[in-house]
Chains A and B, each alone.
Chain A
Amino acid sequence: MNTHYTATAKTLHWLMAVLLLGTLSVGWYMTDLALSPLKLQLYSWHKWAGVTAWWLLLLRLIWRHRHPPPPLPDTMPAMQQTLAHAGHLLLYLLMFSIPVSGWLMSSAKGFQTVYFGVLPLPDVIEKSESVADMLGNLHGLLNLLLLAVLAAHIAAALKHHFIDRDAILRRMLPNFGKKIS
Chain B
Amino acid sequence: MKKALFTVLFSSVVASAAYAAPYTQIDSSKSRVEFGYRQMGVGMQGHFKRVQAQLQLDPAQPQSAKAQIDIDLNSIDTGSAEANQEVAGKAWFDSKTYPTARFISKEVKAVGPQQYQVSGTLTIKGRSQPIVAAASLTPQGNQALIKGKFRFKRSDFAIGEGVWANFDTVANEIDVQFQFLAK
By a beta-carbon cutoff of 8 Å, the part of chain A in contact with chain B is: 35-37, 40-41, 43-44, 109-114, 117-118, 120, 127
Contacts and interface: CB of A to CB of B under 8 A. Distances in A.
B80 interface: yes
Given A109-B80, A110-B79, A117 B40 contact: yes
Interface in B153-183: 163-164, 166, 168-170
B82 A40 contact: no
A113 B169 CA distance: 15
Given A40-B169, A41-B169, A35 B83 contact: yes
Contacts of A43: 40
A44 B170 CA distance: 12
Interface string B68-112: 000000000001101101100000000000000000000000000
Interface residues of B, number: 18
B79 A40 contact: no
Contacts of A36: 163
A114 B41 CA distance: 8
B5 interface: no
A112 B169 contact: no
Given A35-B82, A35-B83, A40 B39 contact: yes
B55 to A, nearest CB: 33
B169 A118 contact: no
Interface in B116-173: 163-164, 166, 168-170
A109 B169 CA distance: 18
Contacts of B168: 37, 41
B43 interface: yes
Contacts of A112: 42-43
Interface string B39-61: 11111100000000000000000
Contact of B40 (A35, A44, A110): A44
B86 A35 contact: yes
Contacts of B166: 37
Nearest to B166: A37
A110 B47 CA distance: 14
B169 to A, nearest CB: 4
A4 to B, nearest CB: 41
Contact of B41 (A37, A109, A110, A117): A117
Contacts of A127: 79
The 8 closest A-B pairs by CB, nearest first: A117-B41, A37-B169, A44-B40, A35-B86, A110-B79, A40-B169, A114-B42, A35-B82
A112 B42 CA distance: 7
A110 B42 contact: no
Question: Looking at B42, B80, B163, B168, which has the most chain A CB atoms within 10 Å of its CB?
Answer: B42
A34 to B, nearest CB: 9
